[in-house]
Chain A
């Protein structure tokens, strides 16, 4: 058994087990922590698959930012445990059944068919000077530059959406309300003042 195979089995064991524990945990915060472990396992697997850049990115961005965000929200909101737990056991058998069926179906398709080692052989190993980042960058900024730009805009929109959704403070800035400006009537702006005629004559 090669060293990479052993590594594969170890990492995949952690991958599966930690994900399983995550879904069955009652405490949301603990579930988040188990998820972080899952991501670490996944990142290790990706390293095995020579996707170094993405593995590091996964940890940096996903664990470092997204899961932190998750923890923020979990700790901020009050997640009632009692009602959650009550629903838990009701659907457990059905959930297990459905997922096992799907696994079996997928395994039937994927197992030893067109994806086997004889069909899809191991690729050549790269040299030590191979830089995954450079390779990705060569693709990303030439062939896929348009989706790249779109992804940037997508992130911008997500920021705007998130801020707009949660924004609470009333703005104190003076704004123009155009419809009110147009609908102004003369009587709102003007007042007829009664000037005494006698006084006017006297002044002449």
Chain B
């Protein structure tokens, strides 16, 4: 089995390296074939691993493959931990990656950096695998950083665009802030547990229980909060969310792969993996839940006022990540992973569909210039419709199951502020429905506002684009129905996730659950369902029925509009406080510390001091030899006298 795991991880790397080094020489066809072959092998083997571990209930595989370094008593190695959680993640990541690879053939068709792009997305897949399959914190961090790096490379892929360069720097820097907290968390883990291995850490919980840090704060809370800071950076929770909308500057395939399905879910995955640690600290869990709820609600609100097709989906991603985080906070880790999985499929689908529209309209991204596309692009329309229905939680579709489970879990939780979180996620359903259907209506329905020249050439996009759409649409529909029971309540993820007995949300969910079909029939009496209907209806009214009402509201609620349009001022805040602040500090250090202190005082000052000292001593060298002789003789006399006196006057015998 080790060979299979190694192949899964290394096949994309091999493809990436080959294409990266000699892509231009090999040509486009061979390049994309190599990388797609690599990822396809990984996908097939991932499904095999899933079958082996989850369906056939194999043992957990935990083995150190290669000792990276040994520092004192600490052993840092490359190792694989394959249990059910890993298997699920492997399948999700590899499948979505494969879809994106195939999609790229059509999307990047006209681009000069074709082969480079394939190399990058294969490299990303390798990095994500490393992160997911890791059995210790160091390798996790390596994968963490590597996906951040490849994300940086890919966001700034069109490096001649100024906005792309700014966006990728922003992404990297904000991620860095998260990584800083993450690294501190890992350092504290090392400090308390003395090891970076998962298995050893989780089995020695008594080493950290009762410890305090920084004068009284519970150590485990600090550790979990710091680890969560890393998750906040990677999974774009408030306030480290500012990079995700900017990351839409990259090509659409990577928005689908990285910023919808895989990298942003690394944070969720990590918290689930660390569930034994998080369960020890109620405070951390509450914080996680609250931040998730804030993100879910407020990011959704921003999605309403966006006019760029990719940004709407980006804010939708942010909001859904908030949902996943809320699920983590109420200790229903399996629900979070479940939503991660379903979200990966339908969000990737939505991004790829958006990309299909963009390509068909010759890279037009403003939805105010779209409309009525459903007749001309049927496949894109139908798959988008399926994805949207999944996203808003229409009964029966994948998103419905996962979202509803989250909402109910929050409802059953006893954590403080759970009531407020419940309110936020329920309201979020309304908002999600609103912006999703607004997007759908404005793009595909209604009158066509498309530029007439483009409209002449408008047709459905190539199969290399539409086939992945279809292949992603299938799980968006059925996977929720099929996997909810085994995954949440059937013990699929049991051997990977620990839940403390004081957190009952999952038990209560389980006790209320009858069957997947029953959930559908039951849904018509639940609040979220009517929220969804309400949101959809509102969207229909504003986008199709009476579009002038939208402008009316906009003019009436100017202040709210301003707040939403300026994205709650996060960017402005960061710019004023952090950017300008850093510049001021740098200026201070330059003028005062560097120029005045070091240059003037120390460097020039020591030279001046030496000069003064020299000028003081130099007159001793008069140049007259007899002066020197004089000094010599006098000192001889003095030395003689000293020796005589020091010998206790013994010469007076």
Contact = CB atoms under 8 A, between A and B. Distances in A.
A136 to B, nearest CB: 32
B637 A98 contact: yes
Interface in A57-81: none
Interface residues of B, number: 9
A105 B637 contact: yes
Interface string A64-107: 00000000000000000000000000000000001001100110
B634 interface: yes
Given A98-B634, A98-B637, A101-B637, A112 B644 contact: no
Contacts of A111: 651
Interface in B598-653: 633-634, 636-637, 640-641, 644, 651, 653
Interface string B474-506: 000000000000000000000000000000000
B132 to A, nearest CB: 71
B651 A109 contact: yes
A106 B633 contact: no
Contact of B633 (A98, A105, A112, A113): A98
Given A113-B651, A113-B653, A108 B636 contact: no
A112 B640 contact: no
B61 to A, nearest CB: 75
Nearest to A109: B651
B651 to A, nearest CB: 5
A155 B528 CA distance: 115
B644 A109 contact: yes
B640 A105 contact: yes
A108 B637 contact: no
For chain B, what secondary structure do more than half of its interface residues adopt (helix, strand, loop), or is it mixed? helix
B479 to A, nearest CB: 86
A113 B644 CA distance: 14
A108 B653 contact: no
A102 B651 contact: no
B637 A102 contact: yes
Interface string B377-419: 0000000000000000000000000000000000000000000
Contacts of A105: 637, 640-641, 644
A124 to B, nearest CB: 29
Nearest to A107: B651
A94 to B, nearest CB: 8
B634 to A, nearest CB: 6
A52 to B, nearest CB: 33
A112 B653 CA distance: 9
Given A98-B633, A98-B634, A106 B651 contact: no
Nearest to A101: B637
Contacts of B634: 98
A35 B651 CA distance: 34
Nearest to A106: B640
B633 to A, nearest CB: 6
B123 to A, nearest CB: 58
A108 B633 contact: no
Contacts of A113: 651, 653
B622 to A, nearest CB: 15
A106 B643 CA distance: 11
Interface in B103-142: none
Contacts of B633: 98, 102
B640 A102 contact: yes
B299 to A, nearest CB: 78
Contacts of A98: 633-634, 637
A97 to B, nearest CB: 9
Contacts of A106: 640
Point out which of B634, B640, B653 has the most chain A C-beta atoms below 10 A from its C-beta: B640
Interface string B287-300: 00000000000000
Nearest to B639: A105
B628 to A, nearest CB: 14
B644 to A, nearest CB: 6
Nearest to B641: A105
B398 to A, nearest CB: 87
Nearest to B650: A113
Interface string B266-297: 00000000000000000000000000000000
Interface string A41-62: 0000000000000000000000
Contacts of A109: 644, 651
A92 to B, nearest CB: 13
22 contacts: A98-B633, A98-B634, A98-B637, A101-B637, A101-B641, A102-B633, A102-B636, A102-B637, A102-B640, A105-B637, A105-B640, A105-B641, A105-B644, A106-B640, A108-B644, A108-B651, A109-B644, A109-B651, A111-B651, A112-B653, A113-B651, A113-B653
Interface of A: 98, 101-102, 105-106, 108-109, 111-113
Given A101-B641, A105-B641, A108-B651, 19 more contacts: A98-B633, A98-B634, A98-B637, A101-B637, A102-B633, A102-B636, A102-B637, A102-B640, A105-B637, A105-B640, A105-B644, A106-B640, A108-B644, A109-B644, A109-B651, A111-B651, A112-B653, A113-B651, A113-B653
For the complex of A and B, the 3 pairs showing the least CB-CB separation, nearest first, are A105-B640, A108-B651, A102-B637
